[in-house]
Structures are given as structure tokens and as C-alpha cells.
Structure 1
Amino acid sequence: MFIIMVYDVNQKRVNKVLKKARQYLHWVQNSVLEGEITEANFLKLKMELAKIINEKEDSIIFYNFRTTKYYKRESIGIKKGGDNNIF
């Protein structure tokens, strides 16, 4: 599956959320990551992020595409992040 993840979290937790998400997805913009991920890793990512965030203050949204067949990505301007950021 292909996931786009966007987040809005308290500044205290931004680095932790980004670091965790980059273990699974590619960082492409401030507070935006995307990439192919297995169902098992997607569940693991969500559980790990739930331990980091405060659900009363923070927000994470996942856009889930079952296939990239209808997916098209265009960008204008500088490129942030990149495809080689998964570690």
C-alpha cells in the first residue's frame, strides 16, 4: 500500500514523530511523509506514533492508497526530504 502521512504535533514532539516516521516512510515536506509500506509495518508505525503523541493536542492523518496506479505526484520549487531517508 502507498501512504501519505501528514502531522501537526506540539513542537516538543516534532523531532520524535519525524524520526519514527522516517524509519518507515520518505520525508518529502515539513510534516509530510510518503511511501510504500506493508500492512504489518503500517500497524506498527501507528502504534509507535500513538505512544509518542498527545491525542488531546496532536494530529496525524494517513491517506491510504491501495495501489499507486492512480497516484500522481507533482512538485514546484525546492525539493525537501528525499527518497533515501528511510533508515
Structure 2
Amino acid sequence: MYVIIVYDVGVERVNKIKKFLRTWLNWVQNSVFEGELTESEFLKVEDGLKNIIDKELDSIIIFKLRDRKYIDRKVLGIEKNIQSDIL
């Protein structure tokens, strides 16, 4: 599945969230990550985020798509982290 995660968390948790998500997904820009995950990887990411955030103060939105091809992605201005399909 293709996942897009956006977050708005307390400043004291921003680096923890960013470091955690970088192990699983591609950084797109401030507070936005995206990439392919298996179902088991997705569950690990979701659980990991739940353990980091303060549920009373923080917000994370997760968009799940079956495949990247279903996204019509358009960037206005500069693209902060250019992604490539080449490994």
C-alpha cells in the first residue's frame, strides 16, 4: 500500500517522529512523509507513532492508498526532497 503521513505535534516530539518515520518512509517536506509499506510494516509504523505522540495534544493524519499510481501528485514551487524510483 502507498501511505502519506502528515503530522502536527509538539515541538518536543517533532524530532522523534521525524527520526522514526525516516526509517520507514520518504521525507517529502516538513511534517510530511510518504512511501510504500506492507500491511505488517504499516501496523508497526502506526503502533510506533501511537507510542511517541501525546494523544491529547498531537495530530497525525494517515492516508492509505492501494497503489501510488492512484495519486495525481502536483508540486507547486520547489520540491524539497525529490524522489526517484531508482534504487
TM-score by length of 2: 0.88
Distance of aligned partners of 1:82 and 1:16 in 2 relative to their CA distance in 1, 3 Å threshold: farther
Which stretches of structure 1, 4 residues or more, deviate above 6 A after TM superposition? none
Higher helix share: 2
Residue in structure 2 matched with residue 69 of structure 1 by the alignment:
69
Which structure 1 residue ranges, 5 or more long, are not aligned? none
Residue in structure 2 matched with residue 19 of structure 1 by the alignment:
19
Q: SS at the partner of 1:49? A: helix
Residue in structure 2 matched with residue 32 of structure 1 by the alignment:
32
Q: Is the 8 A contact 1:27 1:82 kept in 2?
A: no
Deviation per CA, 1:6-45: give whole Å up to 9, x if none.
0000000001001101111111011111111111011001
Q: CA RMSD in A?
A: 1.4
TM-score by length of 1: 0.88
Identity %: 49
